Amino acid sequence: MAATTDTQMALAADDKFIRRLAALFNLEAQVVIAEATNTPNHPIRRQLAQACITNGSGVAQQFALTIALSTNLMAANTTYDFIQLAVVTDAGDPAIRSEIVTLWNGLAGV
């Protein structure tokens, strides 16, 4: 089923999706922390990275709707699985992480 704002709002509120986002944010945070200090906007980017490491679930919850409404996730199929009792998307980790990378500066407030 093609994603709609309704399906994506449900996805953004799903605990399993939040945990998945926290893990993906953490992976990208490690990349940002390791980047050269002369990278444009590094101090602001690093603040978000530190928040992802120290409060990953909070960051994931804060930005879940933004990620769920992003291009790659809107293009994916999002459904409700009655066996798992969860909203599921067929967007893979690379597609989700790509959105995190693309949106990082905006999420960081750059």
Tens digit of each residue's pLDDT (9 = 90 or more) over 67-91: 999 999 999 999 998 998 889 999 9
Would the pLDDT of 1 be above 80? Answer: no
* DSSP assigned state of 77: B
Helices (H), 13-70: 15-34, 42-54, 56-68
* pLDDT in the model for residue 24: 98
Q: What is the pTM assigned to this prediction?
A: 0.93
How do the domains of the chain map onto residue ranges? 5-108
Rounded to an integer, what is the distance from CA 66 to the centroid of its chain?
8
Please check whether residue 32 is in contact with residue 107, taking contact to mean a CB–CB distance below 8 angstroms. no
